[in-house]
């Protein structure tokens, strides 16, 4: 098998019993954190194009990949396509997000069951009306993990958009002039009981259903958009660790809980 052009490793590089699960982060430092802090005997598979990928073993004995997708759905679509090519059949995105509901506070967790998907990359995967839904069993497994870990969590629909500033109705940016259709969009999403903003899971969910792999998403809440636009730095690190722990626990417990 040729080496996939972007991720930089082949199925043959994954050992005699290659893993089928990947934890996927936008931030390469987070992928490295997972490898160093949550995996045993981890090793670097590739750092091609800054897309760091590691392989290692959980405490449960399950071998997985920790990798980065880069920022945004277009980059994620490339990485996910190539992960599936090397045999990955379960992908959990571990990200960060901004809450748009009053009761979802910074440092808590959102587990996305589905997404309102406003992403150009997703439209190349399936029609715009095609549902962007997470794997239900994986979603339940993460909710059970959060409960087991006693982490505050919420399960529901995420607004998955292409841009961090305009698409999330931020005005504190280089472009303070939002196009007309984005004025009031956050309030509209709030009325629709959408929980949060993020930038990748809608495309991931569509890919999961079209390609035939299990897709899930857990995000640390690091901004409260009902109050302001800024990231709450002081709660970011602990919230990210909680999101990682939920994903790791869900993957470790998954086989005994599902089917």
Which sequence positions are flagged as catalytic?
Answer: 6, 82, 170, 225
Rounded to an integer, what distance in angstroms lies between the CA atom of residue 222 and that of residue 108?
8
Find, among 98, 129, 85, 117, the residue nearest to 205 by Cα. Answer: 117
DSSP code, position 23: E
Q: Which residue has the tokens 């009031």?
A: 184
Give the CA count within 13 Å in the CB-facing half-sphere of 184: 4
- Strand 63-68 with 53-57, pairing: antiparallel
Rounded to an integer, what distance in angstroms lies between the CA atom of residue 232 and that of residue 143?
24
Contact 88, 44 (CB under 8 A): no
Kindly compute the dihedral angle of the four CA atoms of residues 198, 91, 42, 26, in this order, to the nearest 10 degrees. -20
As a whole number of Å, the end-to-end CA separation of the chain is: 33
Rounded to an integer, what distance in angstroms lies between the CA atom of residue 89 and that of residue 65?
11
CA distances in angstroms from 135 to 49, 194, 224, listed in the order given: 29, 18, 27
């Amino acid at each position: 098998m040729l080496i996939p052009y972007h991720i930089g490793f082949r199925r043959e590089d994954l050992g005699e019993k290659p893993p089928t699960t990947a934890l996927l982060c936008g931030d390469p430092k987070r992928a490295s954190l997972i490898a160093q802090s949550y995996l045993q005997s981890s090793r670097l598979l590739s750092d091609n194009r800054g897309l760091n990928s590691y392989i290692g073993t959980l405490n449960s004995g399950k071998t997985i990949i920790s990798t980065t997708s880069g920022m945004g759905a277009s980059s994620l679509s490339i990485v996910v396509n190539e992960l599936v090519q090397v045999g990955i059949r379960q992908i959990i995105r571990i990200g960060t997000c901004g809450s748009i509901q009053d009761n979802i506070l910074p440092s808590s967790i959102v587990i996305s069951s589905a997404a309102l998907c406003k992403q150009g990359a997703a439209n190349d995967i399936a029609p715009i009306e095609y549902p962007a839904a997470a794997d239900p069993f994986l979603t339940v497994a993460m909710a059970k993990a959060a409960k087991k870990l006693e982490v505050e969590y919420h399960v529901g629909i995420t607004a998955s958009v292409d841009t961090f500033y305009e698409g999330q109705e931020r005005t504190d940016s280089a472009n303070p002039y939002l196009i007309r259709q984005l004025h009031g969009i956050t309030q509209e999403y709030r009325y629709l009981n959408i929980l949060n903003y993020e930038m990748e899971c809608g495309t991931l969910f569509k890919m999961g259903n079209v390609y035939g792999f299990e897709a899930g998403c857990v995000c640390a809440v690091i901004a409260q958009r009902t109050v302001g636009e800024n990231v709450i730095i002081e709660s970011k690190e602990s919230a990210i660790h909680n999101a990682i722990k939920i994903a790791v626990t869900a993957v470790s417990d998954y086989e005994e809980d599902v089917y």
